[in-house]
Structure 1
Amino acid sequence: MTTNATTPTLAPPARIGKAAVGALGLLALSTGALESVVSPTIPLLERELDMSQSEGALLSIVLLITGALVTPLAGKFGDRYGGKRVLILLMAVVSAGGTVSALAPNLPVLLLGQVLQGAMVGALPLSFIVVRKHLPAGESKVAIGVVSGLFVGGGMVGMLSAGPVAEQLSRHWMFALPTMAVVATTLLVHRLMPADPPGRTGGAGIDWPGLLLLSGMLVTLMLVLALAPEAASQPLVLAALVLVLAAFVTGWVRVERRAASPMIDLRMLARPAIWKACVLTFVICLGTAMAVYLVPQLLDERGDGYGFGASATEIGLFLLPGAVAATLAGPLGGMGDRRFGSRAVVTTGVVTMAVSLAVLAAVHTEVWHLVVGKALIALANGLCVTAMMTSTATAVDRDDTGIATSLILVSRVLGYAVGGQLGGALLTAATPSGSDVAAESAYVTGFVIAGVVTTLALFVTRTMRKGVTA
């Protein structure tokens, strides 16, 4: 038997050092900060841009939606054309989005900036592609953990600093400062990171039908969750949206199964290691997002016998231990996965989070209860998500790293979006007409639901392989 073509032998990629990994970490820190500046400043933006509450809700989720759409494309292109090349191009789009947001005079322009900034969510799988191609499996786990942890830490930095910067300088600077950091760290990555060889070449083009159907599915899901508290007053509208959502889901699954080059490879999702990681990530992030939303609201609450009436600056200080814990969780998760295996790390994180949520539901009469509980939840979430990322990234072929990790990131985005919306729906439903104070029972119910949902993850973790690297 003869072969029709000879495959050229490619030289192995150059090994990267700590400086290059550090540059990727700083880029993750900067993008995480830029991603999170909108959430804590929605009331300020509503006042300055004369936005309605529905417009504010749209502004808070548009980045998540575009990020979920860009992520699988970024991973696929990174696998095909080289992670560094696509990463630099993607960060150019993010920098343009940050600049547009910083200069935005009105809501439509700010929405455009957020759409462009949503490309930043695809930066993580691209970073994983680069790390995986330049480092052996054991070291790449730690490096991926560092990058993931700094992205989470950057998000907390942005959340803590956005309010003071917007109040002391202006809303324009809360976008401008992290955008400058993104530009600087992108140039640093370009200088220190060697080019990685492309993986697959050729193949079919972009799966535009799948992209459009997924876009409609995500937008409709957010509308369903946003209207859920008003179901009694608008039952027909909600029912119609649910039917539209079901149609989008059905159509998207059919298109992806038949596409020559699907946007999200459902065949990979059928692998036990991948679907378990996606389910765990979604469940864990849903529980985390409810706590992330409810804790600051409870700190700000001024109810009769509950809540603390804390200012924005005080809330930022109370959340600082959680920011530190989230930052440390990345490298700890990577090292723990390497030392003990992914199952042990994820199980530890799930148990820690479930217990913390249950305790918060029962005891939340002192500020330190919320501070400690939030820090433990942030630590547990970081351990779980990092372990999912590292185990998934190293469980597939090198050329599939971006596609596999993008599935985890999409699950993360969906979990946060759904959890945040559920937390908001609980408080909205428990706030009497004409009042701005939610009932204490809504917070208790929210923490209990989050804890129960998180506990369900144990049914999946017990079926995981230990995943200890020799």
Structure 2
Amino acid sequence: MEQPALMAEPSGRRTLRARLTVPVLAFGGTLMAVMQTVVVPLLPDLPRLTGASAGTVSWMVTATLLAGAVLTPVLGRAGDMYGKKRVLMLALALMTAGSVICALSSDIGVLIAARALSGAASAVVPLSISILRDELPPERRGGAVALMSSTVGIGAALGLPAAALVIQYANWHVMFWVTAVLGALGVSMVWWTVRESPVREPGRFDVLGALGLAAGLICLLLGVSQGGQWGWGSPRILALFAGAVVVLALWWWQQLRAERPLVDLRLVSRPKVGLSHVAALFTGFAFYANSLVTAQLVQAPKATGYGLGLSIVGTGLVLLPGGFIMLLFSPVSARISASRGPRITLALGALIIACGYAVRIADSRDLWMIMVGAAVVGTGTTLAYSALPTLILHAVPASQTASANGVNVLMRTIGQATSSAAVAAVLVHHTSLVGAVPVPTLHGYLMAFTMAGAVALAASATALTIPGEAGRRGTRRARSRTRGARDEALEGA
């Protein structure tokens, strides 16, 4: 065990490592989000650079999404069983290996496989949140978890302009060398700084459950992500959705009968946990539409009458303030959760997301209004994403926090994939010709904003149905009565 070795170290070194735990884990979460984003500026040029078709190149995004969705709950469960620090380092190492392979190859098949390998990094945030629960005192835990959750937006906002600048002024392989170096640094920092949590849930790993979940999610997310290209009524898409229903139904049956299931479905069926997952699905949908639609809208040619004709770098700079807002508002989220409870924070955050989309509907022509609307959505996302893991931490045993948060992140991923497909379907059906090229109309973008805003309202309503913190309020009242009785006793003495 690592704990005795750490206890033998000088107290100054232990104190330094304890202070660095939160920043190092936040760095890992930010790096994960950057890794998911950096390939986006490359997509228009990759067909020329690799000799592959645009449809094939899109798999560099799809492969990461699929791998992340499958590996996040699996690695979360492995972390609960075998050690969260150990599995966290494995996830970061796989991400780093994927970057190295991308830096060394121009073959599209190898690139897609490497991007799938990098999808393991999706487990970084739930594993880190679980470590924070085990290692931090309660008074520091809320702020640290809020910051960790915000790294998803911070990294995404930083990754796009940074990658665009590297691609513009250097060979595109350099971008992957940079992320590989950062990944290696992240692994080293976690190894040196983070203490291995002693909280474990022993047992045999549910291999059959992992394979069943992987097969069902691949069918589901592949159908959702490729429905627009292959046709929603095509035999392939219908077969994928049918396969997802059958496989996931069998997986559910197997999980209820397994002695040590990959996902404790009885725990998931509790309203506090299950409704939190539903809210995560809706929030992921609403959040993702902001980045997706904003990036396309500001890059639309000026000839459309609404587009700004911005470059990839300019687009990244438009989205950049949202990342800083998420960083600034994460402590605010923690304070609201501490005083009002995380479900109120989640409901408020989702409501603010809806208000952000209302701003976008009111004016999506002026750059400053676009940035204001995107910033409001970012503010709401900070509150919502920070509250979700806190809800899970309050609802599940300490030995299952990594796997439960992994499922919560999975639901966000499914929401994002569904959002991508839904936005694409709306924009495809609302196009006009600009110079013989079909371009989405402003009405199509406004429809996408309306859809995302409605889903955000659904997330807010779902959050309000989550059972409240009655147990915590009761505990606080009991402590208050105890203090009162103690004071009376002292006065009587």
TM-score (norm 1): 0.90
CA contact (8 A) 2:345 2:384 kept: yes
For residues 119 and 226 of structure 2, what CA distance do their matches in structure 1 show?
A: 24
- CA displacement at 1:85 relative to structure 2: 2.0
- CA displacement at 1:233 relative to structure 2: 9.0
CA RMSD between the two structures: 2.5
For residues 216 and 258 of structure 2, what CA distance do their matches in structure 1 show?
A: 18
- 1:455 aligns with 457
Given candidates 436, 441, 459, the residue that maps to 1:439 is: 441
- 1:55 aligns with 56
Cα distance per residue 1:69-125 (max 9 Å; x no partner): 111122212212221122223322222112112222211111121111111111122
Cα distance per residue 1:258-294 (max 9 Å; x no partner): 3333332222211111111111111011011122211
1:338 pairs with 2:342: no
Stretches of 4+ moved more than 6 A in 1?
10-16, 230-233
CA contact (8 A) 2:205 2:262 kept: no
For residues 91 and 460 of structure 2, what CA distance do their matches in structure 1 show?
A: 36
Give 1:327-406 correspondences, 5 Å limit. 327-406=327-406
CA contact (8 A) 1:34 1:179 kept: no
CA contact (8 A) 2:343 2:391 kept: no
Unaligned runs of 5+ in 1: 1-9
- CA displacement at 1:186 relative to structure 2: 2.0
Cα–Cα, structure 1 residues 362 and 176, in superposed 2: closer, same or farther, change >3 Å?
A: same
For residues 6 and 411 of structure 2, what CA distance do their matches in structure 1 show?
A: 32
- CA displacement at 1:135 relative to structure 2: 1.5
- CA displacement at 1:227 relative to structure 2: 5.0
CA contact (8 A) 2:355 2:377 kept: no
CA contact (8 A) 2:36 2:156 kept: yes
Supply the AA of the counterpart residue of 1:311: S
- 2:283 aligns with 284
Supply the AA of the counterpart residue of 1:409: V
CA contact (8 A) 1:61 1:417 kept: no
For residues 445 and 30 of structure 1, what CA distance do their matches in structure 2 show?
A: 33
CA contact (8 A) 1:88 1:190 kept: yes
- 1:6 aligns with none
For residues 221 and 298 of structure 1, what CA distance do their matches in structure 2 show?
A: 28
Give the stretch that moved more between structures: 362-371 or 12-21: 12-21
- 2:308 aligns with 308
Give the stretch that moved more between structures: 234-243 or 279-288: 234-243
Secondary structure, counterpart of 2:450 in structure 1:
helix
CA contact (8 A) 1:225 1:425 kept: no
Cα–Cα, structure 1 residues 354 and 253, in superposed 2: closer, same or farther, change >3 Å?
A: same
Supply the AA of the counterpart residue of 1:291: N
For residues 294 and 277 of structure 1, what CA distance do their matches in structure 2 show?
A: 26
- 2:267 aligns with 268
- 2:11 aligns with none
Supply the AA of the counterpart residue of 1:271: R
For residues 226 and 300 of structure 1, what CA distance do their matches in structure 2 show?
A: 23
- CA displacement at 1:230 relative to structure 2: 6.3
For residues 257 and 40 of structure 1, what CA distance do their matches in structure 2 show?
A: 44
- 2:248 aligns with 249
**Structure whose residues are more often helix by fraction:** 2
- CA displacement at 1:250 relative to structure 2: 2.2
For residues 89 and 232 of structure 2, what CA distance do their matches in structure 1 show?
A: 48
- CA displacement at 1:447 relative to structure 2: 0.6
- CA displacement at 1:235 relative to structure 2: 4.3
Cα–Cα, structure 1 residues 60 and 440, in superposed 2: closer, same or farther, change >3 Å?
A: same
Cα–Cα, structure 1 residues 206 and 104, in superposed 2: closer, same or farther, change >3 Å?
A: farther
Supply the AA of the counterpart residue of 1:435: V
- 1:83 aligns with 84
CA contact (8 A) 1:301 1:308 kept: yes
- Choose 1 or 2 for highest CA Rg: 2
TM-score (norm 2): 0.86
1:31 pairs with 2:32: yes
CA contact (8 A) 2:62 2:225 kept: no
Cα distance per residue 1:1-57 (max 9 Å; x no partner): xxxxxxxxx999998732222222222222222222112321122331123232133
- 2:426 aligns with 426
- CA displacement at 1:240 relative to structure 2: 3.5
Secondary structure, counterpart of 2:260 in structure 1:
coil
